């Protein structure tokens, strides 16, 4: 059954979106996009939507029926009085069960559909059911389980498991219900009962916590099931994304495609795409580094083209994030050159990944320069050499060698990434034979089979073994990548860099954090360059997907 749970007023939805930078108009446009897809309905306080987003009374997301024929409806209602609520004439008349406001309320109406198996005569036992349910949850969290379910009615277990932050006080207040026939609710599966109550202080939560709860519901229920909807798409919708839009990011075409909110284009919904559940499973494999060719054998209905699409978008997102983030910070403690304190030890080296014929006489090399702080995988910094500096001429015998790293290139890199209080370890390349202020130099000569030796600072060893070892892993990750597709090669290199950054971390959680922060950064840039009222509506709710990814293992 699709999840049903936390009901929030439209004003609360706007308030939740505000910390993420979403304007009221962007929230309203996001709801409109879901309406265009047939995945939602909106109720307005007036016939035409005006400039003020308060014209929205409530919005209801409608997933398709699940295998059991049960319908889950996520509704967001306003806190206006029942007399002002808009009720459509064609909605069947069904009693509304309402509970009076509890003491200490903070003025927020939270509506919640009661399970289909709800028994009103058992409502007085709800506190007892909650105690039994809480005890079982505590045992589960402690790893204690006997394999038996808690002995409470199914409707009570479903009620407590809907995502609302239940407390003992809240359950005690959730008691005497009275019938009211002024307002009704109806979903695709027919009319259903709704319990409307005033929010109590025990139900308060931070915007981030509530956003994560709502996000989990949408991802696990509404978005997954709505992924198979084939109606409501604009005529411009098509498989894949326009080539010009891939280069420029989120362009105006994003609106005309009317796709469901996505996480940095890794997940998408159109006529040709797989369900979000399948795409999320593929993304899980991509985050954990499962070999791409094995994924169709591991995931049902995951075709090779679908896997290539998700893996390609994932690597592009990783590259965008890594390249931007690695520019922050420098190597060195920043202390004065006369300081005798501990220094920041780092290694610097370069490596070639590919070569290709630029002409009959010239060979183009794809070469990277790397820097890494010893003992800190997350400090790995990569920079691709300029194409003009990495081109060589073929010898009469037909062979060629990559051009040496120049002193000018190293000085430019040092100006941006090296500060005082550093201990630099390199090989014997002439480019590194530069005395930088406040930097101690150590080098080893690989040509003389010298790979390590005592360093210039007592207790240290010169050498670049750590970085040399990582080059081997990175090149292995690029096996089979087309040498002519330099962008594809770059994506694989930076994906290997990200895996080294997150060496000891949970890759799935890091994946969610990466996509969420990347989406937020891109949104901030849009707000700066285009103004806060021009955010693409198809992205205006994507923060909930990213919040769910980062909060749900």
pLDDT tens-digit map of 447-478: 667 777 888 788 888 888 889 899 999 999 88
Domain, as residue range, for 383 = 357-487
Distance between CA 417 and CA 115 in Å, rounded? 59
Name, of 20-29, 253-262, 303-312, the range with top average pLDDT.
303-312
- The SS3 of residue 444 is coil
In a domain, 119, yes or no: yes
H-run or E-run covering 97: strand 96-98
| 412 lies in the same domain as 476 | yes
H-run or E-run covering 186: strand 186-187
- The SS3 of residue 76 is strand
Closest CA to 334 of 417, 422, 410, 412: 422
Token digits of residue 139: 């045992």
In a domain, 216, yes or no: no
Phi–psi pair at 153, nearest 5 degrees: -60, 150
Distance between CA 220 and CA 393 in Å, rounded? 57
Give the pLDDT band (50/70/90) at residue 350: very high
| 312 lies in the same domain as 244 | yes
Distance between CA 173 and CA 171 in Å, rounded? 5
Tally of CB atoms within 10 A around 135: 11
In a domain, 135, yes or no: yes
Residue 85 has pLDDT above 60, yes or no: no
Distance between CA 285 and CA 308 in Å, rounded? 12
| 84 lies in the same domain as 165 | yes
| 151 lies in the same domain as 293 | no
CB 432 within 8 A of CB 426: yes
| 256 lies in the same domain as 123 | no
Across the range 36-41, mean pLDDT stands at 58
| Domains: count for the chain | 3
CA–CA distances in Å: residue 106 to residues 13, 75, 203, 204, 381: 16, 20, 10, 9, 50
Give me the residue label for tokens 């790979």: 451
Give the pLDDT band (50/70/90) at residue 22: low
| 99 lies in the same domain as 131 | yes
Is 162 or 96 the better-scoring residue by pLDDT?
162
Distance between CA 376 and CA 286 in Å, rounded? 24
Helices 304-325, 486-501: axis angle to 10 degrees equals: 70
User: What pLDDT sits at residue 373?
Assistant: 93
| 401 lies in the same domain as 454 | yes
| 294 lies in the same domain as 390 | no
User: What pLDDT sits at residue 165?
Assistant: 59
Across the range 306-330, mean pLDDT stands at 87
In a domain, 190, yes or no: yes
Q: What is the DSSP letter of 448?
A: G
Residue 49 has pLDDT above 50, yes or no: no
Beta-strand relationship, 194-198 and 96-98: parallel
Kindly report the average pLDDT of the chain as a whole number.
64
Is 231 or 244 the better-scoring residue by pLDDT?
244
Residue 203 has pLDDT above 50, yes or no: no
398-439 residue pLDDT tens: 788 889 999 999 999 999 999 998 999 998 888 998 989 889
Give me the residue label for tokens 């520019």: 327
| 147 lies in the same domain as 53 | yes
Name, of 29-38, 101-110, 151-160, the range with top average pLDDT.
151-160
Helices 507-530, 543-551: axis angle to 10 degrees equals: 160
CB 367 within 8 A of CB 403: no
| 36 lies in the same domain as 138 | yes
Angle at 163 between CA 157 and CA 166, to 5 degrees: 75
Give the pLDDT band (50/70/90) at residue 507: confident
User: What pLDDT sits at residue 268?
Assistant: 57
Domain boundary among 177, 210, 243: 210
Phi–psi pair at 336, nearest 5 degrees: -70, 160
In a domain, 106, yes or no: yes
User: What pLDDT sits at residue 162?
Assistant: 59
Closest CA to 439 of 458, 415, 421: 421
| 438 lies in the same domain as 376 | yes
Distance between CA 19 and CA 22 in Å, rounded? 7
Distance between CA 553 and CA 548 in Å, rounded? 9
| 25 lies in the same domain as 131 | yes
CB 266 within 8 A of CB 306: no
Its pTM stands at 0.50
Domain boundary among 487, 516, 540: 487
Name, of 8-12, 42-46, 222-226, the range with top average pLDDT.
42-46
Distance between CA 508 and CA 435 in Å, rounded? 43
């Amino acid at each position: 059954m699709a999840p049903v749970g936390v009901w929030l007023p439209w004003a609360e939805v706007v308030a939740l979106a505000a910390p993420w930078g979403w304007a009221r108009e962007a929230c309203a446009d996001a709801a409109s996009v879901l309406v265009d897809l047939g995945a939602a309905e909106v109720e307005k306080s007036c016939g035409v939507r005006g400039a003020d987003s308060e014209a929205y009374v409530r919005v209801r997301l409608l997933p398709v029926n699940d295998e059991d024929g049960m319908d889950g409806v996520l509704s967001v209602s306003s806190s206006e009085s029942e007399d002002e609520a808009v009720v459509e004439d064609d909605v069947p008349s069904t009693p509304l069960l309402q509970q009076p406001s509890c003491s200490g309320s903070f003025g927020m109406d939270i509506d919640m559909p009661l399970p289909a198996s709800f028994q009103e005569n058992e409502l007085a036992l709800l506190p007892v059911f909650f105690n039994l349910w809480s005890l079982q949850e505590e045992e589960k969290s402690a790893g204690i389980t006997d394999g038996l379910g808690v002995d409470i009615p199914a409707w009570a277990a479903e009620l407590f498991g809907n995502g609302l932050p239940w407390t003992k006080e809240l359950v005690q207040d959730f008691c005497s219900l009275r019938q009211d026939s002024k307002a009704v609710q109806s979903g695709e599966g027919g009319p259903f009962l709704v319990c409307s109550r005033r929010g109590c202080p025990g139900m308060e939560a931070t915007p981030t916590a509530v956003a994560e709860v709502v996000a989990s519901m949408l991802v696990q229920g509404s978005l997954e099931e709505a992924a198979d909807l084939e109606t409501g798409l604009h005529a411009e919708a098509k498989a894949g994304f326009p080539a010009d839009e891939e280069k420029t990011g989120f362009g105006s075409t994003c609106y005309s495609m009317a796709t469901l909110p996505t996480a940095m284009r890794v997940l998408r919904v159109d006529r040709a795409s797989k369900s979000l559940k399948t795409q999320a499973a593929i993304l899980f494999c991509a985050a954990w580094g499962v070999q791409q060719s094995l994924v169709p054998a591991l995931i049902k209905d995951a075709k090779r083209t679908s896997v290539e699409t998700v893996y390609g978008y994932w690597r592009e997102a990783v590259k965008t994030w890594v390249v931007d983030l690695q520019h922050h910070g420098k190597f060195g403690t920043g202390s004065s050159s006369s300081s005798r304190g501990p220094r920041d030890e780092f290694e610097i080296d370069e490596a070639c990944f590919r070569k290709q014929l630029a002409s009959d006489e010239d060979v183009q090399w794809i070469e990277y320069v790397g820097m890494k702080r010893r003992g800190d995988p997350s400090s790995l910094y990569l920079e691709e050499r300029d194409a003009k500096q990495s081109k060589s001429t073929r010898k009469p015998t037909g062979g060629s060698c990559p051009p040496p790293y120049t002193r000018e290139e190293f000085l430019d890199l040092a100006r941006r990434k090296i500060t005082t209080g550093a201990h630099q370890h390199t090989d014997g390349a002439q480019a590194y034979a530069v005395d930088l202020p406040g930097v101690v130099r150590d080098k080893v000569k690989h040509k003389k089979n010298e790979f390590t030796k005592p360093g210039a600072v007592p207790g240290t060893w010169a050498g670049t073994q750590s970085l040399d070892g990582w080059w081997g892993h990175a090149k292995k990750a690029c096996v089979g990548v087309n040498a002519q597709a330099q962008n594809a090669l770059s994506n694989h290199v930076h994906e290997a860099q990200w895996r080294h950054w997150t060496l000891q971390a949970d890759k799935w959680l890091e994946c969610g954090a990466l996509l969420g922060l990347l989406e937020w950064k891109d949104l901030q840039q849009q707000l700066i360059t285009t103004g806060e009222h021009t955010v693409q509506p198809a992205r205006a709710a994507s923060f909930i997907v990213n919040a769910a990814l980062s909060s749900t293992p």
